[in-house]
Amino acid sequence: MMNMLDPRLLRSFVAIADSGNFTLAAQRLHMTQSTISQQLSRLEDAAGHRLIDRSARPVRATAAGERLIGHARRILALQDEAAMLLADPAGTAAIRIGLPEDLATGEMATGFARFAARHPEIRLDVTTGLSRPLAALYAQGEFDIAIVKEMQAGPDCRVAFPEPLGWFAGKGGAVVARDPVPLVTFPPGGLYRDAMFDRLEQEGRRWYVAFSGSSLQSVLAAVGAGLGVSLLPLRTTSGAPVRRIQDFGPVAPMVVALYAREAEGAVAELADAIAATLAG
């Protein structure tokens, strides 16, 4: 049965049936007449039936051949489709990117889309998460590009931008006056979490974690609902139901640092596009 479904044999059979002539079929497939005849014979042996009536002029499919030819055409069409798919380089190369969740914005996606339009052969594999785990994965070679938030950019940083921070609370209530102060934080390992603890201890304020959320959306929602106060990048709070407060003093900005493994080529081009989005 497997020999019967050999696309080479099926293609010869279909060419003979369509042209009605062994010579024309051989020319169409760029082979000799003896070769195409041998391939038809092999297919007939595997099928156990005569598939072409050689005595007819022009030659034509037998009853068994007529039953097979529709399936043969579909098999050949699928093979051609698969060959075209494999010949298309779209998405065959990957650039791996580590990105903090709050930087996975519409503007960033638009920048990715412009790059993808120029490089259809490249697939963008984006992983979002907290900066410290992303930085560790980049150091282990898991990413080609990493954007992380740090207190200070590393020496191999490609470019860095300041990330101003501020304290935020819900628009109503007096949560700031509570003692101890309830905090809304990211999980352990989040940079804003440690900065919050350090600042409140410098101010001599007691505190406790009232809510911990793994996403920016959940943290903003918790602050807006009055669960506690939080330290957040200023640009992430636009449109959120929160208000900026000054009760705990100023906080030094962090930096958004971009790292890339290649100084030129597609990875470098994408890194520059990301940098332009961050600068904007």
Quick: pLDDT tens for 102-151: 898 899 999 999 999 999 889 999 999 888 899 999 999 999 999 999 88
Residue 106 φ/ψ, nearest 5 degrees: -60, -35
DSSP conformational letter for 157: -
Phi-psi region of 197 (alpha: psi -120 to 50; beta: other; left: phi over 0): alpha
Neighbours of 95 (CB within 10 A): 24
Q: Given pLDDT bands bounded at 50, 70 and 90, which one contains residue 190?
A: confident
Q: Which residues contact 45 (CB under 8 A, 6 or more apart)?
A: none
- Whole-prediction pTM: 0.65
Domains and CATH numbers, the chain: 7-87 (1.10.10.10), 93-162+255-279 (3.40.190.10), 165-251 (3.40.190.10)
* Reported confidence tier of residue 2, pLDDT bands at 50, 70, 90: very low
Q: How confident is the model at residue 34 (pLDDT cuts 50, 70, 90)?
A: very high
